[in-house]
């Protein structure tokens, strides 16, 4: 047997062993992750309507779990509560609060107008001690409705450029120094994509991470943080999130469902 052939054979065997080991590691990681989701009560949400991919939900769970103890998190657009549950689950051990802003009137969803507030309350009942529903449009949101500063904001309401910019500009002054603002559908809706592009080009915000169509931004270190109240300045978070665990990044994304256009405060 020629030496070159033996060398090539050994390399193919090694590559095959590495591939099998990687596949086994991924399956083990997925099994452990499913047990973790089941323990948190998230597995039962698998059949609940949503417009976020499994990887995006995992990212929200991870971002919330890395907030400081007693963190304040805001979600604009909650629909029937799937993303809300993942954010709240991440806050369970942190003793934090999740403020959910939505009309829950379902005006522009595919199934037509209906009141989805009861569905939201039912799906999020396990996390009722963490979630604070605010039934209003995001344009009506005031600092007095929340506890500041905000450590994490998830914007997933009206996807028009004007609306998503208004939501971003409203909550940005309420953000803690190392807080994060996540936006959904940056690769799906031109209004969201345009806003993110402008924010990054302006140099006042930096990309902290992305999973599928979900991105999260943070202020660069050279930006001075504006403060609204002394109490907000007294409670900065202890860490920022710039990436996700390897086990989440390695998971294959699920194909997103077809997306309708949404109005403010009607998302999952």
Sorting pLDDT into bands at 50, 70 and 90, what band is 18? confident
Unique residue bearing structure tokens 């991870």: 62
Rounded-to-integer distance, Cα 233 and Cα 199, Å: 24
- 87-123 per-position pLDDT tens digit: 999 999 889 999 999 999 987 666 778 899 999 999 9
Q: Return the higher-pLDDT residue of 262 and 62.
A: 62
Q: Are strands 175-184 and 150-155 parallel, antiparallel or unpaired?
A: parallel
pLDDT at 182 over 70: yes
Residue 20 in tokens: 């099998």
CATH of 49-249, one of 3.30.465.10, 1.10.3720.10, 3.40.50.150, 3.30.70.980: 3.40.50.150
Residues 172, 204: contact at Cβ < 8 Å?
A: no
Rounded-to-integer distance, Cα 187 and Cα 193, Å: 6
Q: Return the higher-pLDDT residue of 113 and 242.
A: 113
Instruction: Indicate the DSSP class of residue 141.
Output: -
Average pLDDT, the chain: 81
Backbone φ and ψ for 208, nearest 5 degrees, come out as: -100, -20
- 45-83 per-position pLDDT tens digit: 888 988 899 999 999 999 999 999 999 999 999 999 999
Sorting pLDDT into bands at 50, 70 and 90, what band is 24? low
pLDDT value for 167: 97
Sorting pLDDT into bands at 50, 70 and 90, what band is 16? confident
Rounded-to-integer distance, Cα 168 and Cα 174, Å: 10
Q: Return the higher-pLDDT residue of 208 and 7.
A: 208
Among 69-78, 111-120, 138-147, 257-266, the least confident range: 257-266
Sorting pLDDT into bands at 50, 70 and 90, what band is 230? very low
Residue 185 in tokens: 């559908």
Q: Are strands 72-76 and 150-155 parallel, antiparallel or unpaired?
A: parallel
Residue 215 in tokens: 């991105």
Sorting pLDDT into bands at 50, 70 and 90, what band is 232? very low
Residue 94 in tokens: 């942190």
pLDDT value for 111: 73
Residues 164, 186: contact at Cβ < 8 Å?
A: no
153-175 average pLDDT score: 96
Q: Name the percent of the chain in helix, strand, coil, to the closest 5.
A: 45, 15, 40
pLDDT value for 260: 46
Rounded-to-integer distance, Cα 22 and Cα 27, Å: 9
Q: Return the higher-pLDDT residue of 145 and 46.
A: 145
């Amino acid at each position: 047997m020629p030496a070159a052939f033996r060398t090539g054979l050994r390399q193919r065997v090694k590559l095959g062993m590495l591939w099998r080991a990687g596949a086994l590691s991924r399956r083990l990681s997925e099994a452990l992750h499913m047990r973790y989701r089941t323990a948190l009560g998230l597995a039962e949400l698998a059949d609940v309507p949503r417009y976020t991919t499994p990887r995006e939900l995992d990212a929200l769970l991870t971002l919330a779990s890395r907030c400081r103890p007693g963190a304040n998190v805001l979600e604009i657009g909650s629909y029937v509560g799937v993303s809300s549950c993942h954010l709240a689950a991440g806050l369970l051990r942190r003793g934090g609060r999740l403020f959910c802003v939505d009309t829950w009137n379902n005006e522009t969803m595919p199934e037509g107008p209906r009141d989805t507030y009861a569905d939201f309350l039912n799906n999020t009942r396990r996390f009722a001690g963490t979630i604070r529903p605010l039934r209003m449009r995001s344009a009506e949101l005031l600092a007095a409705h929340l506890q500041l500063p905000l450590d994490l904001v998830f914007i997933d309401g009206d996807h028009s450029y004007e609306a998503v910019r208004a939501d971003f500009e409203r909550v940005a002054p309420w953000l803690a120094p190392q807080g994060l603002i996540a936006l959904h559908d940056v690769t799906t809706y031109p209004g969201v994509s345009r806003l993110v592009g402008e924010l990054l080009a302006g140099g006042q915000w930096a990309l902290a991470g992305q999973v599928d169509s979900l991105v999260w931004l943070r202020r660069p270190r050279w930006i001075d943080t504006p403060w609204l109240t002394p109490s907000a300045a007294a409670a900065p978070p202890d860490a920022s999130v710039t990436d996700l665990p390897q086990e989440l990044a390695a998971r294959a994304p699920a194909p997103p469902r077809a997306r309708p256009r949404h109005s403010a405060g009607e998302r999952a």
